[in-house]
Amino acid sequence: MPAPCVVWFRNDLRLDDNPALTAAARSGAPLIALYVLDDESAGDWRMGSASRWWLHHSLESLARDLARLGATLILRRGRAEFVLENIVAQTGAGAVYWNRLYEPWAMRRDGEIKASLRARGLAVESFNGALLFEPAQMRNKQGEVFKVFSPFWRACLATGGPEAPLPAPESFVAAPAPESDALDDWRLLPSKPDWAGGLRETWRPGEARARARLAEFAKSGVADYKVARDFMAEESTSRLSPHLHFGEVSPRRVWAEIIAAAGEAGLPFLREIGWREFCHHLLVANHDMPDSALDARFNDFPWRHDEGALKAWQKGLTGYPVVDAAMRELWITGWMHNRARMVAASFLIKHLLLPWQEGERWFWDTLVDADLANNSGGWQWVAGCGADAAPYFRVFNPVLQGEKFDPDGDYVRRYVPELAKVGAKWIHRPWEAPADVLRSAGVTLGKTYPLPIVDHAKARARALAAFEEMRT
């Protein structure tokens, strides 16, 4: 019997369209399925609390799926290079397969692991299981990384689309399983206080739910996506982002099913998959993107330090209902509607003049779909300091954004119950409501719901002045 091969699972917690798993199954070698929790290598960007909750349940799901094919998912915690050395020594493995990660720390680590294992005589292969196209594949006419999204997206479409997704292996030979950690011993779930109730009500991690959600959206949601996606109270987005981040469904599978269901009508949604792709390509080319502005001028921006304002934003107590609803949705569900993300991020950066990195860190800990490329790319876009960024002088008016994209106030009422009885006319500007309206709604500003912590017009003027100061 040939020496066993190791399939090192990472952010590819699925059987379908998993190139590393497929290659291992086709090799005919007995298979060892391994997941390594490597917090040490990740450093400052180890998974946040909400992501760890998701990971626990996603690993449970993957273990069940592998068990149906006769394999055990081996769990080990520690530096990946040491874990792999130990697994190889224990099992006599002759090959290691994995799908690539694109975080800077992971790329450095994986390159070193690949060289070390190959020097010891093992066959080591890595694959693209996370993106539509490899970053090195997409270049502009000058052979450089795209810095603007629209031409990047046109170049993606000009390829005719990504490769077809691979079917899940129907069978493989499982090697005897080495010793494994117990998932519960990793303590990925909260203990006391148990803050994950809203996550449990909102999400079902795992490949089966990811595929079901994709099928539902392809059938009944994608046709209206272009118009409906901005309305925060509506269930009009795919909510695939955490499933994509953890690799419970591949972007190639998403592409294939959306095109099959909707044809060109699916392109507005696939454009959002393209933005995910763009952010990953930017991260590969700019390893300091999570910490430093791509536009170096912003290194001299006169940011403020205001712990009280930051806490008010984090807790959804800014006095601007749509911002507060967004931040409470995040805390309760581990997710936030994309329009709300833009409004909440703009408020932190431009109304409060707080560094975009503060928001990035908060999202990293609280989002179930926290993704280093998307998170840093999105925050830099709003701040005006990233690639193809919204100009800094574009300041979202949270009142107008609420009135336009939550016209009946249902989104605010869902997450800011203090304002549940305020009518649509005043719900996005309660400080302007007549006293009798507030009294009949049971609202006492400054007590049951805060007054605005900044004035929009003054905050906008302050932000524009700070931008001018940076430019001079």
Residues with catalytic annotation? 272, 275, 303, 338, 356, 379
CA–CA distance from 368 to each of 50, 55, 232, 257, 330 (Å)?
Answer: 5, 9, 18, 24, 9
Of 250, 348, 249, the residue nearest 303 (C-alpha): 348
Of 322, 300, 229, the residue nearest 268 (C-alpha): 229
Q: Which residues pair with 7 in a beta bridge?
A: 33, 97
Question: What sign for the dihedral angle of Cα 60, 65, 70, 75?
Answer: negative
Of 203, 280, 277, the residue nearest 239 (C-alpha): 203
Question: What sign for the dihedral angle of Cα 467, 469, 470, 472?
Answer: positive
Task: Tell me the C-alpha distance between 214 and 211, whole Å.
Answer: 5
N- to C-terminal Cα separation, the chain: 71
Cβ-Cβ contacts under 8 Å for 456 (sequence gap 6 or more):
351, 397, 398, 399
Task: Tell me the C-alpha distance between 248 and 32, whole Å.
Answer: 19
Which tokens go with 366?
A: 């609280």
**Residue found under tokens 């106030």:** 409
